[in-house]
A and B are shown apart, each in its own frame.
Chain A
Amino acid sequence: MNTPTTFHPIARLLHWTMATMIVAMLFIGAGMVATVSQKHGWLLAIHKPLGIAILLLAIARLALRLRHRPPPLPADLPLWQRLAALASHWLLYALMLALPLLGWGMLSAGGYPVMLGDALRLPAILPENAALFAWLREAHRYLAWLLFLTFVAHMSAGLYHGLIRRDGVLASMLPSRRGKAPMATGD
């Protein structure tokens, strides 16, 4: 098997789908806790099902990532950038799994019904406990900030590869050109 030069097509699809969802989610989360307007209710109503969707996609993506090695980084990339890339990618994975679980857990601990819509309710994953709620709620907030900052760094690094180094790293995650890499459905 040749060393891949691009990410798996499904990985690329998931990356851009989730990028849109996660960025939207960060802005929705920041906005909904900072307004007393009508937006509070409808942002909250989007936030919860979107969070669960991100959790499910993140699990799928992690499974794909563990089965398909990503293309290697350029050989001439300095060690610190190599390490930063590795650390930030795993941090992104950890946060996109942790934040929905924290949200779900904090609603459970706060005694709220975890509603994904008018009728779809998830079970509580933690017992009602106000102190636990407070810890999880604050963890949700600070880790969301960390995710936002990691996203900004990740976006900037991607553009650095694409615009300044022009080393194929950004291209390896871009949607494939027509006819070049047909959509695979598995292994």
Chain B
Amino acid sequence: MKIRFRQAAPWALIGGLAAVTVAAFGYVGGWLAPHRLTPQSLVDTLQDNAGLHPGYRRNHAKGVCVAGWFEGNGAASAYSTAAVFARGRTPVVGRFAIPGGNPYAPDGSVPIRSMALRFNPPDGEQWRTGMNAMPVFPVSTPQAFYEQALAGRPDPATGKPDPARLAAFFAAHPETAAFRAWAKHAKPSASYVTERYDSINAFYVVDAQGHRRAVRWAMVPLAADGRPGPAGDPDYLARDLDQRLARGPQRWTLRLTFAASNDPVDDAARVWPADRPAVDAGTLVIERMQAQDSGACRDVNYDPTVLPAGIEPSADPLLAARSAAYADSYLRRTAEEAHLPGSARPTAEATR
């Protein structure tokens, strides 16, 4: 008996160590922790809500590519060492879109538009930002965003979210109050060009002395003819943009707004008072538009944590979640584009 134990003990030790190592790896990788919120489960939920559209983004699926440049005026260089803020032009590859995972959604179905930009300064660093035409985010945490997506799942019978489930979600999440107050009066606009796009999340700008200041930024439109979108036309936004660009480049002012010492920096569901100091860093000039399935923005992941030296992410938990979830969405659609084994293929009802 004793001898047998002595013989078995080393084998048990080796097997046990291997098993513990594999289990630890499984836990860290999420396979043995099914209740943890992962980028995959978050994106799965968005995909379930909107239906699978291979090759498209899992959120903000409907949009257009644009290109132009940013003309820095030097005013923000006192607050950040980022090269884009210096006087001069930085090329920009951008994208306008509407929220949601359905690339065929009518433009009037949501009152929110988005602007994503990739600044490409010549030094090889990048600044990527995804902004939304709304002043505040509904929720503060990835978990709450996930629950909101679950509550917003379309009812198969009506094709629309169940109002009772949404109401229950909002009741359980009082932090959504500021967003709901805004959304009550928000109307789908007739143009991407007349919208103001907010960073929503806060960041830090860092000056040459290493001094960090919390900021939110916004692209403030120079076009002032904002009006609600026309009824009965599902695709007016791209047409409007095309017509406006035919008349000339479209412009926005990049405005950095500084937090006061007691403003919430890590909570995108809370607005800062309107009287906070701001600096206009320069002008965004958009002069060209391309279809999103062939334009330069198609293969860009507008991960808001890709930042140049001189700009740093805040501890807002949504920023980390956006980075993780965008990476997963990016892998899905590029895998579909590349026809990787196991990736989704276009369902192509037409070819059936």
Do A and B assemble together? yes
Binding site for B on A (CB under 8 A): 26-27, 30-41, 44, 110-113, 115, 118-119, 121, 123, 128-135, 137-138, 148, 152, 155-156, 159-160, 163-164
Is A152 touching B22 in the complex (CB atoms < 8 A)?
yes
List, in ascending order, chain B residues with CB within 8 A of A40's CB: 39, 320-321, 323-324
Partner of B335, one of A32, A38, A134: A134
Chain B residues near A118 (CB, 8 Å)? 309
Inter-chain contacts of B321 with A (CB < 8 A):
36-37, 40
Residues of B within 8 A of A163 (CB): 10, 13-14
Whether B28 pairs with A36 at a CB distance below 8 angstroms is: no
* CB–CB A131/B338 < 8 A: yes
A130 and B126 form a contact (CB under 8 A)? no
Evaluate contact between B39 and A27: CB separation under 8 angstroms: no
Q: Decide: A30 and B29 in contact? CB cutoff 8 A.
A: yes
- Least Cβ–Cβ distance between A112 and chain B, in angstroms: 7
- Considering the chains assembled together, what is the distance between the CA atoms of A131 and B10 in angstroms? 48
Number of B residues, CB within 8 Å of A:
50
Q: A130-B299, A152-B18, A163-B14 in contact; A135/B340 too (CB < 8 A)?
A: yes
Nearest A residue (CB) for B39: A36
| Complex alpha-carbon distance, A27 and B340, angstroms | 25
Question: Which residue of B has the minimal Cβ distance to A45?
Answer: B305
A27 touches B37 (CB 8 A): no
CB distance from A164 to the nearest CB of B (A): 5
Further pairs besides A41-B305, A110-B301, A138-B335: 8, Cβ < 8 Å: A27-B24, A34-B30, A36-B42, A39-B320, A40-B323, A40-B324, A130-B299, A131-B338
In the complex, are the beta carbons of B14 and A36 less than 8 A apart?
no
Contact yes or no, A111 B300, CB < 8 A: yes
Q: A113-B306, A164-B11 are in contact. Are A38 and B39 (CB under 8 A)?
A: no
A149 → chain B, closest Cβ, in Å? 9
Which chain B residues have a beta carbon within 8 Å of chain A's beta carbons? 10-11, 13-15, 17-18, 21-22, 24-25, 28-30, 36-40, 42, 124-126, 142, 298-301, 305-306, 309, 313, 315, 317, 319-321, 323-325, 327-328, 330-331, 334-335, 337-338, 340, 343
Q: List 18 A-B contacts (CB under 8 A).
A: A27-B25, A30-B28, A34-B29, A34-B40, A36-B142, A36-B324, A40-B324, A110-B301, A110-B334, A113-B126, A121-B124, A134-B338, A134-B340, A135-B338, A137-B335, A138-B340, A156-B14, A163-B14
Residue of A129, A155, A159 with most partner-chain B CB within 10 A: A159
Choose among A110, A138, A152 the residue that contacts B21 (Cβ–Cβ < 8 A).
Answer: A152
* Residue in B21, B36, B300 whose beta carbon sits within 8 Å of that of A35 in the complex: B36
Known: A33-B327, A36-B324, A159-B13. A41 touches B38 (CB 8 A): no
Asked whether B37 lies within 8 Å of A133 as measured between CB atoms, the reply is no
Main secondary structure of the interface of B (DSSP, over half): helix
B301 touches A131 (CB 8 A): no
Q: A118 to chain B: closest CB distance in Å? A: 5
Whether B38 contacts A130 by the Cβ 8 Å rule is: no
What is the bound-complex CA distance between A135 and B343, given in angstroms?
11
State A179–B40 Cα separation when bound (angstroms): 53
CA distance A160 to B40 in the complex (A): 38
- Are A130 and B10 in touch, CB under 8 angstroms? no
Q: How far is the CA of A32 from the CA of B324 in the complex (A)?
A: 8
Chain A residues with CB under 8 A of B142: 36-37
By the criterion CB–CB under 8 Å, are B17 and A155 in contact? yes
In the complex formed, the residue of B with least CB distance to A151 is: B21
Of the candidates A35, A137, A152, A160, which one forms a contact with B324 in the assembled complex, judged by CB atoms under 8 Å apart? Answer: A35
CB-defined contacts of A31 to chain B, threshold 8 Å: 28-29
Q: In the complex, A38 Cα to B299 Cα: how many Å? A: 25
Residues of B within 8 A of A41 (CB): 305, 313, 319-320, 323
Chain A residues positioned under 8 Å from B300 (CB to CB): 111
A131 touches B337 (CB 8 A): yes
Residue of B nearest to A32 (CB): B324
Asked if B309 and A34 make an inter-chain contact with CB atoms under 8 angstroms apart, the answer reads: no
What separation, in Å, do the CA atoms of A17 and B306 have in the docked complex?
A: 31
Which of chain B's residues has its CB closest to A44's CB? B323
A159 contacts B14, C-beta separation under 8 Å: yes
Q: How far is the CA of A88 from the CA of B300 in the complex (A)?
A: 38
- CB-based contact B334/A38 at 8 Å: no
In the bound complex, how far is the Cα of B11 from the Cα of A156, in angstroms?
9
Q: For residue B305, which residues in chain A have a CB less than 8 angstroms away from its CB? A: 41
